[in-house]
A and B are shown apart, each in its own frame.
Chain A
Amino acid sequence: MNFDELGELMEALRDGTIEDGQVARLDQLLAEHPEAVDYFVDRAWLRAELDEKLGGSPALRLPAPARRPHRRLPAGLAVAAALALAALLAVFGRATRSETTYEGCAILTKSFETRWEGSGPAVGSVLPKGRLAFESGVIQVEFFSGARVILEGPADFELVSTNEGLCRHGKLRAFVPPQAQGFTVRTAGIQLVDRGTEFGLRLDRSGDAEVHVFQGRVEIHSRGARSDLAVGRALRIDPAGVVRPIDANPQAFVTLSDLTLRSAEEAKARLARWGGASERLRQDPRIAVYYSFEDAPEWSRELRSQRPERSPLDGAIIGCRWAEGRWPGKKALEFRGPGDRVRFQDAGEYESLTLMTWVRVDSLDRPFSGLMLTDGWTSGSVHWQITQHGTLRLGIHGDKQSNDYDTPVLFTPGQFGRWIHLCTVYNRDAREVLHYVDGRLANRLALKFDTQLRLGAVELGNWGVPLQGNVYAVRNLNGRMDEFALFGKALGADEIRELYSVGAPAP
């Protein structure tokens, strides 16, 4: 018997890339061939030895034989046994599953006409400690403690912790629920500790500060002195530290309802602008498949393509629910269950192609989260997916070989929950793969081999190849998709940037 297949299956299992059909095959080999069991055992044992020898997983050392105590104290003996066991478990203790962590102290929940200094964070992102600086516009930041701050530009504000910020200049309105009491905003000269529910701070670049208390009470620490400011009161503090009372003016600070109203108007304008661009896109002769996710009523289980007439390009919706897209009023499909998917059939053959989508990834639960995968994995197949490490991957299958083209890690927990524009170009003429994220080139990779691409049966958000009988691989996306396009040509960088900017949920 040739053990090559068995060895390959064992390595695939180790990597976690084994498919259900392959597991069945492994099982069959083991059940039918006693010599396969011998080989399996040999190689399994060898791999554990190599893990230790080459991988440096620490060898377990026997603790030095415990001296027999002169007096047999049961408690002492129990301790000795416990020590021996502790030594043993300590070795494995390192293996305790590590918690998923990321640096963050707040979430950017709203952004209205914000002009950031440099590149700013997207709405929905987790904000790590550090500066938020913008020239104009309004943002809302929700601290993990529960405190909420609306900041008006020009502003320079630093997130210090989950319940503290440092304001260099800008205008802010803070809402502090009881669980976040003690929320603190510092400036160069003063420190405001919230003891109630709502206050405003205006700090000019010159150092002139105004503090207004709209609800509750605020402690002001300045030059070693502490004073309390009660509801309805306001103070002006000049850079020299001279304090005088002024009239409190709630209208001088943007409220949440103002911001919500203004954001809604902006969203409406953006949705309308995107709608026009989407109409033009569906007429683009290079479009092979286009879903705006807009053409069907909410009860429909059909995702209409760019074609006015019905065609196999219309996607069949399986499991997914309709949900809100990039803006209120924009439709999206939500993928959540392991069976959720959209299936369509494409008859084209492509020398080059461009894949584009707007997605919101909520988490990466599986080794692969599918964006668009051909059912098969044979010559001409295309697998566009996100790996659990957080890279975007284009897998291309040629005649007798396949290759994966990955971006660096894009998705970290801080990126979950925000809308992101992904675009990947397979260019056979230039012999390269280009990945774009939010309109910007993420990386460029030379083709390992070139091949013509044929899609056939395709799925969005999952992988539909039946491995054996009714057994399917689970590669469902956990998140939402609200636009998808497949162009039969390679798009240029400028066009991709334009597609991004006209569809960006906020500037």
Chain B
Amino acid sequence: MTPADRGEQFVRLFVQNQKRIQGLILALVPKGADADDILQEASAVMWQKFSEFELGTNFAAWALRIARYQVMAYYTAQKRQRARLSDESLDAVVETLARRAEREEDRTLALEGCLAGLDRSDRELLDLRYRSGATVGDLARQSGKTVFAVYKALNRAHDRLLGCMRGKLSTEGAERG
């Protein structure tokens, strides 16, 4: 395989699994510059080590493992206990995420459909959270609600989306069957 093919191959696999990788890092490190740095470093390490990756095996599992080590390196560098999950929990999360067979394109389609069907209030809340990057504290201040109420509303909006997506993905899977 030529270096160009190799590069293309890597980019393709990476793109196909990018959200899983981002999802993992952002579930383990607060959103912000550090999380961005970890993602950047993790993708650079993946590229450096890509020659060791055996084509045909599970790229997600391989890439998530690297992302996980980058997160752990960050925890160590920070020398803090904060936000540090145990190895057992990290393993369980990484394995579960790697085992998921859904394709990112299918998920994106499902998400678009489900977002369109969302209540206005849920949609507005998610816009504030993701578009404006508001923290829960910000949302509480802006809306005059308590942080507890904001957490509840965020849970509800996410759960509705997840439920809807699960439905769409399973019927589509069955149709393809």
Instruction: State A26–B131 Cα separation when bound (angstroms).
Output: 26
Contacts of A95 in B (CB 8 A): 33, 36-37, 39-40
- Please determine whether A62 and B3 come into contact, CB atoms closer than 8 angstroms: no
Complex: A454 Cα to B135 Cα, angstroms: 28
B126 vs chain A, min Cβ distance (A): 6
Say yes or no: B96 contacts A37, CB within 8 Å.
yes
Report B-chain residues with C-beta under 8 Å of the C-beta of A46. Answer: 23, 111, 158, 161-162, 165
B121 at the interface (CB under 8 A from A): no
Bound together, the chains give a CA A13 to CA B162 distance in angstroms of 20
Residues in chain A near residue B158, CB distance under 8 A? 7, 43, 46-47
Q: Which of A51-59, A207-215, A295-303 contacts B (4 or more CB under 8 A)?
A: A51-59
- Which residues of B in the span 1-55 have a Cβ within 8 Å of any Cβ on A? 2-4, 6-8, 10-12, 14-15, 18-20, 22-24, 26-28, 30-34, 36-37, 39-40, 43-44, 47
User: Is the C-beta of B89 less than 8 angstroms from some C-beta in chain A?
Assistant: yes
Q: Are A48 and B20 in contact (CB under 8 A)?
A: yes
Chain A, residues 46-84, CB within 8 Å of chain B (1/0): the string is: 111111111110001111011000001010011011111
Cβ of B61 under 8 Å from chain A = no
B58 interface residue (CB < 8 Å to A): no
Q: Are B155 and A4 in contact (CB under 8 A)?
A: yes
Chain A nearest Cβ from B88, distance in angstroms: 6
Contact A60 B4 (CB under 8 A): no
Verify B80–A474 contact, CB threshold 8 A: yes
Q: Does A257 lie at the interface of the complex (its beta carbon under 8 Å from any beta carbon of B)?
A: no
Inter-chain contacts of B31 with A (CB < 8 A)? 14-16
Q: Which residues of B contact A55 (CB under 8 A)?
A: 130-131, 133
| Cβ-closest chain B residue relative to A29 | B89
Chain B interface, >50% SS class = helix
Inter-chain contact A77/B136, CB cutoff 8 Å:
no
Are the CB atoms of A44 and B131 closer together than 8 Å?
no
On whether the beta carbons of A66 and B30 are closer than 8 Å, the reply is no
Contact A84 B4 (CB under 8 A): yes
- Which chain B residues border A410 with CB–CB below 8 Å? none
Most buried by A among B8, B107, B140, B148: B8
Interface size class of A (residues with CB under 8 A): 35 or more
Chain A residues lying within 8 Å of B7, measured Cβ to Cβ, are: 80-85
Q: A53–B111 contact, CB under 8 A?
A: yes
Given A3-B159, A4-B155, A403:B140 Cβ within 8 A: yes
Asked whether, in the complex, the Cβ of A84 is within 8 Å of the Cβ of B148, the reply is: no
Return chain A residues, CB-CB under 8 Å to B4: 66, 77-78, 80-81, 84
Q: A117 near B: Cβ within 8 Å?
A: no
Q: Is B137 an interface residue (CB 8 A)?
A: yes
Cα A34 to Cα B89 in complex, Å, equals: 10
Asked if B15 and A60 make an inter-chain contact with CB atoms under 8 angstroms apart, the answer reads yes
A35 to B107, CA, bound (A): 20
* Chain B window 134-156, contacts with chain A (Cβ cutoff 8 Å), 1 for yes, 0 for no: 01110011001011100110110
Q: Which residues of B contact A43 (CB under 8 A)?
A: 27, 158, 162
Chain A window 399-414, contacts with chain B (Cβ cutoff 8 Å), 1 for yes, 0 for no: 0111110100000000
Are B162 and A98 neighbours in the complex by a CB distance under 8 Å? no
Smallest CB-CB separation from A404: which chain B residue? B137
Residue from A18, A26, A50 with most neighbouring chain B CB atoms (10 Å): A50
Q: Are A23 and B81 in contact (CB under 8 A)?
A: yes
- In the complex, the answer to whether A42 meets B36 with C-beta atoms within 8 Å is no
Contact A401 B146 (CB under 8 A): yes
State the Cβ distance, B137 to closest chain A Cβ, in Å.
6
Chain A residue contacts of B80, Cβ below 8 A: 474
- Measured between beta carbons, the chain B residues less than 8 angstroms from A404 are 137, 140-141
Check A308 for interface membership: any CB of B closer than 8 A: no
CB contact between A49 and one of B6, B44, B84, B108 (< 8 Å): that residue: B108
Sample of 6 more A-B contacts, CB < 8 Å, known A14-B26, A52-B19: A8-B151, A18-B30, A85-B11, A89-B40, A96-B36, A400-B146
- Listed A/B pairs (15) with beta-carbon separation below 8 Å: A20-B81, A41-B97, A45-B20, A46-B23, A48-B18, A51-B130, A53-B112, A61-B15, A63-B8, A65-B8, A84-B7, A84-B10, A88-B11, A95-B40, A96-B37
Using CB atoms and an 8 Å cutoff, list the residues of chain A in contact with chain B. 3-4, 7-8, 10-18, 20, 23, 26-27, 30-31, 34, 37-38, 40-56, 60-63, 65-66, 72, 74, 77-78, 80-85, 87-89, 92-93, 95-98, 400-404, 406, 448, 471, 474
A-B pairs, top 7 by smallest CB distance, nearest first, are A95-B36, A81-B7, A16-B30, A44-B27, A84-B7, A48-B23, A80-B4
